[in-house]
């Protein structure tokens, strides 16, 4: 009879632990990045009252239940939109690395981040978010050749990410400009002063803006004048390239000729570059020369054909200087700085850490964990060349919420409540039985 008392007590204790755990889960149902837990129970060893090991039936009586532990659920939570440009969600496996004031590194899925007073990317507790810098900022300026991609490097090299509040990108002089479009060779005639019909030269003008190293916008005009009369087998155009500054002053002038075959394909050009773009050479391109062994050669730039669409395409590099407009984060975790001149440059990359056994992580809070011997050390996935692979996408302006299923949690809570009540009932029942036994003696 005494065993029933202890069974009831152990049942109440274990169910109380379960209720406490469930109530914590429910309280954090709206906590971003929260990982819920479920209680695991185990029976206490049984006492054998009679019989032998060879009996087909036993009369063992268990000694109650005990809470064995809490099992974490590392599945992803639901994703909701956010207005904060630094908020992030990891799609797939992986963890954000955060460094606390003691320089200890922990891990979280809660991607609610912002900039602190010093410009560092931090979570709500002020822990620094870890990643790799592009090292393309000197002072408040982007260096001349900004990085286009960022490699994470090793796990031990990850550092707090700093995002400058003020940033500028220098101007880059235009070094090349390629022209694509038609030169119309259709014959143009007029009557001269002697009353004779004569052919007059066709004139085509291509215009483009180019930048010098100081960010000034210079005006480039390339004028093409057709030779008259023309040979049947080819067409020749005189070309004059004139570069003017913003005030119309001539900076440089170059002359040359472009020759096309009878089918309008470019065969040669003697106009290759403008030497002086305020101290920077500017290369002019009009397409590849015709080669019967190379498809599309001679037709990928300027062509001398009549009746074509008059649309023109100009490809060039260079840009004026620009000031920082905003930041954004792409799906690879690159923090992109956008400038007033239209340029976008990555300055840092958020690191996504992985573990061999993430269920072995040691829980510090509902959203923060640290590595343990069971989880293994943090790592990056790499290819055979040691290049870091991106196996998880990052979604910007989104938040991962708690992964708790509220319906399941409320149902489990009712079950544990009834189990608690039933365990307490077994105690009161045993008490009544003892009382009845005592009353029999009276």
440 or 286, which is more confident? 286
Read off the pLDDT of each residue in 289-318 and give the average, rounded to a whole number: 89
User: Exposed, middle or buried: residue 70 (CB in 10 Å: 0-12, 13-18, 19+)?
Assistant: middle
Q: What confidence tier does 49 reach under pLDDT thresholds 50, 70, 90?
A: very low
CA 333 – CA 89 distance, rounded (Å)? 10
DSSP letter at 389? P
Is the pTM above the cut of 0.75?
no
Say how far apart CA 260 and CA 268 lie, in whole Å: 7
pLDDT digits (tens, 9 = 90+) for 16-48: 777 888 888 899 998 999 998 887 766 665 444
- Residues 431-436, mean pLDDT to the nearest whole number: 73
Average model confidence (pLDDT) across the chain: 86
DSSP lists the bridge partners of residue 385 as none
Q: In Å, what is the CA distance from 187 to each residue of 128, 141, 196, 299, 392?
A: 71, 54, 16, 21, 61
Top-confidence residue, 247 or 383: 247
Is residue 275 helix, strand or coil? coil
pLDDT of residue 8: 62
Q: Residue 57 pLDDT more than 60?
A: no
**Mean pLDDT across 387-393:** 76
| pLDDT for the residue 103 | 93
List the domain boundaries for the chain: 2-74+403-441, 79-170+323-400, 176-316
Grade residue 73 by pLDDT with cuts at 50, 70 and 90: confident
CB 129 within 8 A of CB 161: yes
Closest CA to 258 of 229, 237, 284, 282: 237
Alpha-carbon distance of 113 to 127, in angstroms, equals 10
92-128 pLDDT, tens digit per residue, is 899 999 999 999 999 999 999 999 999 999 999 999 9
pLDDT tens, 205-232?
999 999 998 888 999 999 999 998 887 7
**pLDDT tens digit sequence for 173-217:** 999 999 999 999 988 888 777 777 788 899 999 999 999 988 889
Q: In whole angstroms, give the CA distance from residue 423 to residue 419.
A: 6
- What is the arithmetic mean of pLDDT over 71-88? 91
CA 204 to chain centre: 46
Q: Is the pLDDT of residue 161 over 70?
A: yes
Look at residue 408 in the predicted model and tell me its pLDDT: 86
d(C-alpha 207, C-alpha 362), whole Å: 65
Contact (CB, 8 A) for 315 and 180: yes
CA–CA gap between residue 255 and residue 283 (Å, rounded): 13
Calpha distance 272→128 (Å, rounded)? 53
Question: In the numeric block, which tokens belong to residue 140?
Answer: 């408040």
pLDDT tens digits, residue range 344-368? 999 999 999 999 999 899 999 889 9
238 compared with 46, residue with greater pLDDT: 238
Q: Which residues contact 149 (CB under 8 A, 6 or more apart)?
A: 334, 346
Residue 265 token pair = 């394909």
Q: What is the pLDDT of residue 63?
A: 64
Q: Is the pLDDT of residue 399 over 60?
A: yes
Predicted confidence band at 71 (pLDDT cuts at 50, 70, 90)? Answer: confident
Closest Cα partner for 263 from 223, 306, 224? 306
Closest to 283 measured CA to CA, from 173, 178, 430: 178
Residues 6+ apart with CB under 8 A from 167: 137, 140, 141, 142, 323, 324, 337, 339, 347
Range of lowest pLDDT (111-115, 319-323, 398-402): 319-323
Q: Tens of pLDDT along 130-159?
A: 999 999 999 899 986 666 778 888 899 999
Query: Tell me: the pLDDT tens digits for 273-303?
Result: 887 888 889 999 999 999 999 988 999 999 9
Percent of the chain's residues with pLDDT above 90? 53
**Closest Cα to residue 304, out of 257, 263, 256, 255?**
263
The closest of 218, 200, 201 to 210, measured between CA atoms, is 218
- The 8-class DSSP code of residue 360 comes to G
């Amino acid at each position: 009879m005494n065993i029933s008392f202890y069974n009831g007590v152990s049942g109440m204790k274990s169910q109380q632990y379960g209720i406490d755990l469930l109530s914590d889960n429910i309280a954090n149902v709206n906590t971003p990045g929260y990982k819920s837990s479920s209680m695991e129970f185990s029976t206490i060893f049984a006492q054998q009252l009679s019989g032998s090991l060879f009996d087909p039936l036993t009369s063992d009586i268990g000694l109650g239940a005990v809470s064995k532990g809490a099992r974490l659920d590392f599945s992803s939570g639901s994703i909701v939109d956010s207005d904060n440009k630094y908020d992030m969600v990891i799609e797939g496996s992986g963890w954000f690395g955060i460094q606390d004031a003691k320089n200890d590194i922990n891990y979280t899925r809660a991607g609610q981040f912002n900039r602190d007073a010093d410009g560092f990317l931090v979570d709500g507790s002020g822990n620094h978010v870890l990643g790799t810098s592009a090292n393309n900022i000197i002072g408040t300026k982007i260096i001349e050749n900004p990085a286009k991609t960022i490699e994470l490097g090793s796990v031990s090299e990850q550092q707090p990410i700093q995002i400058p509040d003020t940033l500028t990108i220098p101007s880059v002089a235009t070094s090349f400009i390629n022209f694509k479009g038609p030169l119309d060779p259709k014959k143009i005639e007029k009557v001269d002063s002697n009353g004779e019909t004569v052919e007059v030269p066709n004139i085509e003008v291509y215009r483009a803006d180019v930048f010098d190293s100081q960010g000034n916008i210079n005006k480039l005009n390339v004028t093409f004048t057709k030779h008259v009369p023309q040979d049947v087998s080819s067409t020749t155009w005189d070309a004059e390239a004139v570069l003017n500054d913003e005030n119309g002053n001539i900076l440089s002038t170059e002359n040359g000729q472009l020759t096309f075959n009878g089918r309008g394909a470019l065969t040669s050009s003697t106009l290759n570059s403008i030497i002086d773009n305020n101290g920077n050479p500017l290369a002019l391109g009009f397409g590849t020369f015709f080669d019967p062994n190379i498809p599309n050669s001679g037709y990928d730039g300027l062509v001398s054909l009549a009746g074509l669409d008059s649309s023109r395409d100009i490809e060039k590099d260079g840009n004026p200087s620009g000031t920082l407009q905003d930041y954004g984060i792409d799906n690879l975790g690159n923090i992109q700085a956008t400038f007033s001149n239209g340029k976008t440059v990555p300055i840092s990359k958020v690191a996504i850490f992985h573990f061999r056994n993430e269920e072995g992580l040691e829980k510090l809070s509902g959203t923060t964990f640290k590595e343990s011997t069971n989880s293994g050390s943090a790592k990056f996935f790499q290819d055979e060349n040691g290049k870091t692979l991106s196996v998880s996408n990052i979604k910007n302006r989104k938040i991962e919420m708690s992964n708790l299923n509220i319906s399941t949690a409320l149902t489990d809570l009712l079950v544990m409540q009834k189990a608690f009540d039933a365990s307490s009932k077994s105690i009161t029942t045993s008490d009544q039985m003892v009382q009845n036994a005592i009353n029999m003696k009276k």
